[in-house]
Structure 1
Amino acid sequence: MTSVDAEQAVTESTAVPLLEAMELTRHFRVGRGFSRQLLHAVDDVNFTIGRQEIVALAGESGSGKSTIARLLAGVYRPTSGEIRYQGRAMSTYRSRKDQLSYRADVPMVFQDPFSSLNPAFRVSHGVLRSLKLHRPELGRQQRFAEAERVIEAVGLSPAGDIMHRYPYELSGGQRQRIGFAQALAHKPKLILADEPVSMLDVSIRIGLLNLMAELRRSEGVSFLYITHDIASARYVADRLMIMYAGHVVETGPTESVLQNPKHPYTDLLLGAVPDPRAPLTTGIEGDTGEPPKVINPTPGCRFRGRCPLAVDRCHQETPVLRTLGTNHQAACHVAEPDPG
């Protein structure tokens, strides 16, 4: 390969998103017999995550955020649509070797730091087990050295002392840091962080958010940060996706979405949780309807029952994401694009 070919290959590899979801859909069957129905947890979702990028996925409970995380982690299979990792379709990962390789590259950090660690084993057990499973080339001494490195990388020291403790001897914040250490042991490229700070005291949440930013810088890892907290998303994320009733309704650079929201649901979220750093004004005064029905939903905007700006078209046609600003998209029939 010539130097020109090598340079072209590097350019192409960096141009391909780290992960891409295309028309990603997941439905669940609920009920039995004649009452069996279809719950639309995720419908036709499209997004990308770049290298060394932190993308926040925000929305209220039941919007489908955690379902997306489990689809990306391989816990659920898509009903339809495709996930591409580094340009390769996830559906082609058939062998155990391929699946282990993907799960090493894309681990998950769970919401509950109190149940995600086995109380019967020392802290070192989960980290060493991850190293043995996903990095078999390491010898026993190398695994211990790497375990100490990743534990120190997440801000816990002395690592040797921490490794010999049991989970009950650690605080909630320390346990969650061990969760990040277990993920980091894989040498991941993308960490799926499913509301990792929601069960922690407010006083220690900022430390975990800073940890994510530091791991992005020092380890070169990307994050999908799932949250219902707009303020924390603003603090740590490069891009923000707003999800409602299985649909991504708005996406764009974090500051663009929060300073100039295009979708009425984003407007309501900002009105409910104001950011003290900057006065954000909303044009909608309150919530006017019931939560959405995602079991056998009918066509139309799923937010229409709660939206005071809804028009007839909203009841008949499901809106799709359209560009309304620089890298800023929203799925809304009445949203206006930025002036020319």
Structure 2
Amino acid sequence: MTTVSSSSDAATGTAAAPLLEAKDLTRHFRVGRGFSRQLLHAVDEVSFSIGQQEIVALAGESGSGKSTIARLLAGVYKPTSGEIFYQGRAMSTYRSRKDQLSYRGDVPMVFQDPFSSLNPAFRVSHGVLRSLKLHRPELSREQRYAEAERVVEAVGLSPASDIMNRFPYELSGGQRQRIGFAQALAHKPKLILADEPVSMLDVSIRIGLLNLMAELRESQGVSFLYITHDIASARYVADRLMIMYAGHVVETGPTESVLQNPKHPYTDLLLGAVPDPRAPLSTGIEGDTGEPPKVIDPTPGCRFRWRCPLAIEKCHNVTPTLRILGPNHQAACHVAEPDIGS
């Protein structure tokens, strides 16, 4: 399986170690009972890396495995096989509570629903202060409160003392999601896993959250894995884009390269559904029908073949792997043509 490297490193020609790297990451779930038990292949042999101060978008439709990737990186799920390396250390070696807290402080998660992720019985300050007490125990009570005010101000909410004294129901959806980012920021994280953080918000306030991610990258030095089904928002904020379909990463590269010159038919299909006037002039592939496969005990072959009008016989028998088709641009497609000189 080809590893997706950090575009920033490739562009500068440096050999800097990635902040986080996944190698052949796989997660299967057992479904059914007794003799009817089967395996749901949520994620299959996915490899990628995320560099320092990099925003990587992971895009695809519902059921593609995006959120499973996030939960694997967050430690919610254990991989069926494969390994996650954080700053060069295998995540499977994080066995003590101290090591696990350290990792989860460095790699927190911001969830999709900004209301259910906050406890409605407590004031906003509770979650931020609890995060500080758990992950930064060296701080005194006064220092924790001062740091809580700092991170709330850092996500654009002021006056912090007033915001922290409110209950979640007293905040708007955008404000609640900013508090989610503040809770993550309280850990002094190096990588934030943002799982569809703007999908439940009004379009008018999504841009503010996307700008916040870019600002936190610049001011706090934080990297992001931004999980989304919205190609337009990925284009707006991400340095690099990974397209996922039915448990596989099918295309990856610098965001503009992937969107201006898509190599995989599925990427072209997604672009055809983008309501963005700045998007490439693409109508998407023709002939697409049906829904993504359930990936229960899948057979070899391209998992997009049933929806792809370009499929050839090889697509039905051989599972394609990522191959280089342009500068830092890879796709898993048997019929995709490389750029001239690649």
TM-score using structure 2 length: 0.94
- AA at the equivalent of 1:225: Y
- Distance in 1 between residues matched to 2:284 and 2:200, nearest whole Å: 32
- Ranges in structure 2 where 5+ consecutive residues have no aligned partner: 1-13
Alignment of 1:1-340 (within 5 A): 15-282=16-283, 284-340=285-341
- AA at the equivalent of 1:91: S
Contact 1:134 1:186 in 2 (8 A): yes
What's the secondary structure of 1:119's corresponding residue? coil
| Deviations 1:130-167, CA, capped at 9 Å, x for gaps | 00000000000000000000000000000000010000
| Deviations 1:231-262, CA, capped at 9 Å, x for gaps | 00000000000000000000000000000000
Q: Which moved more, 1:13-22 or 1:231-240?
A: 13-22
- Distance in 2 between residues matched to 1:293 and 1:120, nearest whole Å: 38
- Distance in 2 between residues matched to 1:124 and 1:335, nearest whole Å: 52
- AA at the equivalent of 2:16: A
Contact 2:132 2:187 in 1 (8 A): yes
Distance 1:217 1:14, change over 3 A: farther
- Distance in 2 between residues matched to 1:165 and 1:135, nearest whole Å: 24
- Aligned residues between the structures: 328
- Distance in 1 between residues matched to 2:71 and 2:284, nearest whole Å: 35
- The alignment yields a C-alpha RMSD, in angstroms, of 1.1
Distance 1:105 1:305, change over 3 A: same
- Distance in 1 between residues matched to 2:38 and 2:337, nearest whole Å: 36
Deviation at 1:279, TM superposition (A): 3.9
Contact 1:242 1:251 in 2 (8 A): yes
- Ranges in structure 1 where 5+ consecutive residues have no aligned partner: 1-12
Q: Percent identity?
A: 90
Contact 2:325 2:338 in 1 (8 A): yes
- Distance in 2 between residues matched to 1:278 and 1:331, nearest whole Å: 23
| Deviations 1:7-45, CA, capped at 9 Å, x for gaps | xxxxxx981100000000000000000110000000000
Deviation at 1:274, TM superposition (A): 4.4
Runs of 4+ off more than 4 Å: none
Deviation at 1:272, TM superposition (A): 1.5
- Distance in 1 between residues matched to 2:48 and 2:333, nearest whole Å: 17
Contact 2:45 2:248 in 1 (8 A): yes
- Distance in 1 between residues matched to 2:239 and 2:45, nearest whole Å: 23
Contact 1:106 1:190 in 2 (8 A): yes
Contact 1:274 1:280 in 2 (8 A): no
What's the secondary structure of 1:15's corresponding residue? coil
- Distance in 2 between residues matched to 1:90 and 1:302, nearest whole Å: 29
Contact 1:289 1:307 in 2 (8 A): no
Deviation at 1:293, TM superposition (A): 3.2
Distance 1:262 1:278, change over 3 A: same
Contact 2:260 2:280 in 1 (8 A): no
- AA at the equivalent of 2:273: A
| Deviations 1:110-137, CA, capped at 9 Å, x for gaps | 0001110000000000000000000000
Contact 2:271 2:284 in 1 (8 A): no
- AA at the equivalent of 1:295: I
| Deviations 1:301-339, CA, capped at 9 Å, x for gaps | 000000000000000000000000000000000000001
| Deviations 1:156-183, CA, capped at 9 Å, x for gaps | 0000000100001000000000000000
- Distance in 2 between residues matched to 1:186 and 1:110, nearest whole Å: 16
Q: Which residue in 1 is equivalent to 2:11?
A: none
Deviation at 1:296, TM superposition (A): 0.3
